[in-house]
Structure 1
Amino acid sequence: MRPVTLYSLMRRTGETRTLRWRPEAVSTDTARRLIRRGRRSTAIVNVYETTDREGTALHIAHVHFGSELYDGADFVTDIYEIPTEALTTL
């Protein structure tokens, strides 16, 4: 089973380009903890069910932090690509 993939984006205040970090592999437990942290804060959290190009079931979690959490940033967004199998395997 492939791990959860985390994509992070940020736009600094006064800039027009969005910074992107290299996709990072994280464990399912870490992803759950980080998504819960977003829900407890003022972040907007959306979760979508979809499939990838090969038909594998995925959950996409979009966590959008506003500028109030990060100085000098208009926004920070984390996108988690979670294989559904990872959520249902005990």
Structure 2
Amino acid sequence: MRPVTFHSLVRYTDSNSTAHWRPERMTVDTARRHIRRGRHCAATVHVYETTDRGGSSFHVAYVHFGPGRWDNADFVTDIYEIPTEALTEL
């Protein structure tokens, strides 16, 4: 089961627009590893708990890598949508 939806945004150097990719699905374990990696790389990491329009609870993890991480990008932002039930399942 791949309950996490992952979005990635990039602003390339000398560009006025932000590139984004089609959302990808991944496992909770993979998402946790990526979020931890962001914390170790001194990225800005925020986790919010919210609900969708249907009332289902989920977490949004926002990982923002600033300039200097990549040569050709001003920033990279990764967004993870994680259903709360996926975090609490055994």
Shorter-normalised TM range: over 0.9
Instruction: State the 4+ residue runs in structure 1 displaced beyond 3 angstroms.
Output: none
For the residues of structure 1 that align with 2:69 and 2:16, how far apart are their CA atoms? 20
Give, as a single letter, the amino acid of the residue that structure 1 aligns with 2:63. Answer: V
TM-score of the pair, normalised by structure 1: 0.96
**8 Å contact from structure 2 (residues 2, 27) kept in 1:** no
For the residues of structure 1 that align with 2:25 and 2:53, how far apart are their CA atoms? 19
What is the aligned partner in structure 2 of residue 19 from structure 1? 19
What is the aligned partner in structure 1 of residue 9 from structure 2? 9
For the residues of structure 1 that align with 2:2 and 2:80, how far apart are their CA atoms? 13
Q: Which consecutive unaligned segments of at least 5 residues does structure 1 have?
A: none
Greater CA drift, 64-73 or 19-28: 64-73
What is the aligned partner in structure 2 of residue 43 from structure 1? 43
Q: Cα RMSD between the aligned structures?
A: 1.1
TM-score of the pair, normalised by structure 2: 0.96
For the residues of structure 2 that align with 1:46 and 1:6, how far apart are their CA atoms? 15
Deviation at 1:42, TM superposition (A): 1.4
| Count of residue correspondences | 90
Give, as a single letter, the amino acid of the residue that structure 1 aligns with 2:47. Answer: V
SS at match of 1:53: coil
